[in-house]
Homo-oligomer: A and B are copies of this chain.
Amino acid sequence: MAAKKDPAAKRRPTERDGDISWQAQKSAMTRDRILDAAINCFIELGYTNVTTAKVAQSAGVSRGAMLHHFPSKTELIQAAVEYLHDKLLEDYTRRIGEIPASLTGAARRRAGIRAYWDYLNGDLFTVYNELSFASRTDPELRAILESSQQVFEQHVLECNGTLFTEWLATGDRFLLAMDVSRFMMEGMASSRLMTDREARVERLIDYLCDRLEEIFKEGGSTAIGRHSST
């Protein structure tokens, strides 16, 4: 649970490691250790149950040491949320990037859907979702999230655009497909305590994939033309 003292993280780096002083490196390391610990606490305890003491303990530093790096809890949370945001982007990009290039067409799209589903069920997204809910009654948190929200949405759009170039060209349909996929899967991911979850999810993913293929099949279904604003 609490990685008390990770010796590897505390090893002494070379005297002159690229013009950065040993102190600065050490400082940056403990800073990252604290932020990692904060994310971990978010996962294990939930956002509202996180205290500065628990984060410090989990990071293996004293509260005083932490207060040196983050003078107040608010600043710690802010830094942790930005850190989480970066990790989320990286997580999503990595999952998409791991789709083998050999997959093409419908199989590739399906793999993308599956990757997104796995991403949604990961700890990082769970925490992010929790933060989103908490932000409803927490103006400070809301301000942080709103800015990162747009950056993230934009990044996902670009990420998907480079992956599915054949879809990007369809413009409006591309956005519809993204929205349908996103909300349906996010809805499923949020409902963690439904009965017979696995079977229903598999079935819905099948259904979703079929709909996506349908959307991009030009003139496929009579009902689709209506939803293209062009």
- Contact between B210 and A226, CB atoms less than 8 A apart: yes
A 162-201 contacts with B by CB, 8 A: 176, 179-180, 182-188, 190-195, 200
How distant is A6 from chain B, measured CB to nearest CB, in Å? 25
Selecting from A16-24, A72-80, A107-115, A126-134, the interface stretch reads A126-134
A46-B180 contact, Cβ under 8 Å, with A191-B186, A194-B153, A207-B227: no
A118 within 8 A of B: no
Identical chains in the assembly:
2
Chain A: residues with Cβ within 8 Å of the partner, total of 51
- Contact between B207 and A46, CB atoms less than 8 A apart: no
* Distance, CA A126 to CA B211, complexed state (A): 29
Residue of A126, A176, A179, A185 with highest tally of chain B CB at under 10 A? A179
A230 within 8 A of B: no
Chain A at the B interface: SS class: helix
- Contact between B210 and A214, CB atoms less than 8 A apart: no
- Chain B residues positioned under 8 Å from A188 (CB to CB): 183, 187
- Contact between A204 and B179, CB atoms less than 8 A apart: yes
Give 11 pairs: A residue, B residue, CB < 8 Å, sorted on A.
Answer: A129-B190, A142-B193, A145-B193, A176-B203, A179-B204, A180-B204, A187-B187, A203-B227, A210-B223, A211-B223, A213-B223
- Chain B residues positioned under 8 Å from A142 (CB to CB): 193
A28 within 8 A of B: no
Q: Closest residue of chain B to A185, judged by CB? A: B187
